[in-house]
Amino acid sequence: MKLYGYYLSSAAFRVRIALNLKGLAHEDAPVHLLRGGGEQFVPEFAALNPQNLVPVLLDAGRPLTQSLAIIEYLDETHPQPPLLPTAPEARARVRGLALAVACDIHPLNNLRVLRYLKRDLEIGDDERDGWYRHWIALGLAAIEQLLDGDEATGTFCHGEAPTLADICLVPQIFNAKRYDCDLEPYPTVMRVFDACMTLDAFAAARPESQPDAPD
């Protein structure tokens, strides 16, 4: 398998964690999102993904896009260890937590959006950072409530093994730390984050450990 990603992309980070949890080797194909106007816009990459977004996974067939679709694919083609629980209601809980990050925090804070705020709406850096922190704080406050006091929450977001929910949560916390967000209001979130980071699958997927990360 070949993974087109970028060390700082939290969507690519998700896929790296999933591959690691499954014990699947992959070749890295770094796409530098900032260099030369952005390598995601070169025709070779746009042919793989007209959305000009990472990650893209090449397995046997067509290029696979969208981190959550890729991870569900990996879970279906390599079922062990499972990244979703078995019961439909539990699966809905895990997917709901994952989507609370993937739909309601991350899309508001990715590179193209921050660029639009700065270039097209001429928002200053302080206001842009305030925007970034606003959506993280709103999202994490809700996730804290969804985790805290729900008996389905265990060492991880759902029970005693990492799931798709943890895979989405951890890269979001890395982003939050990069923007100096106050994480003290989210003790359950941070307890889960710390538990995840003791696992090699998560630790090895971190941005600074990727081949395209600066020295």
Shortest Cβ distance from residue 184 to a second copy (Å)?
18
Q: Does 172 bind a second copy (CB under 8 A)?
A: no
Amino acid identity of 82? Answer: P
Closest CA to 72 of 62, 63, 60, 84: 84
Q: Does 92 bind a second copy (CB under 8 A)?
A: yes
List 102, 157, 173, 189, residue binding a second copy (CB under 8 A): 102
Q: Do residues 136 and 171 make contact, with C-beta atoms less than 8 angstroms apart?
A: no
Q: Does 188 bind a second copy (CB under 8 A)?
A: no
Phi/psi of residue 124, each to 5°?
-70, 165
Which of 122/160 has CB closer to a second copy? 122
Shortest Cβ distance from residue 152 to a second copy (Å)?
8
Shortest Cβ distance from residue 8 to a second copy (Å)?
18
Shortest Cβ distance from residue 199 to a second copy (Å)?
24
Q: Does 116 bind a second copy (CB under 8 A)?
A: yes
Closest CA to 105 of 138, 144, 127: 138
Window 60-79: residues binding a second copy (CB under 8 A)? 60-62, 64-66, 68-70, 72-73, 76-77
Residue tagged 């046997």 (tokens): 60
Q: In whole angstroms, what is the distance from residue 186 CA to residue 121 CA? A: 32
Site size toward a second copy (CB under 8 A) is: 50
Phi/psi of residue 127, each to 5°?
-70, -35
Q: Does 113 bind a second copy (CB under 8 A)?
A: yes
Helices of type H across the chain: 10-22, 43-48, 67-77, 88-102, 111-119, 125-147, 164-178, 187-197, 200-203
List 17, 18, 33, 53, residue binding a second copy (CB under 8 A): 53
125 token code pair: 């850096």
Question: Which spans of this chain sit near a second copy (rule: CB under 8 A)?
Answer: 49-53, 59-62, 64-66, 68-70, 72-73, 76-77, 88-89, 91-93, 95-96, 98-100, 102-104, 106-108, 113, 116-117, 120-121, 123, 127, 130-131, 134, 139, 141-142, 145-146
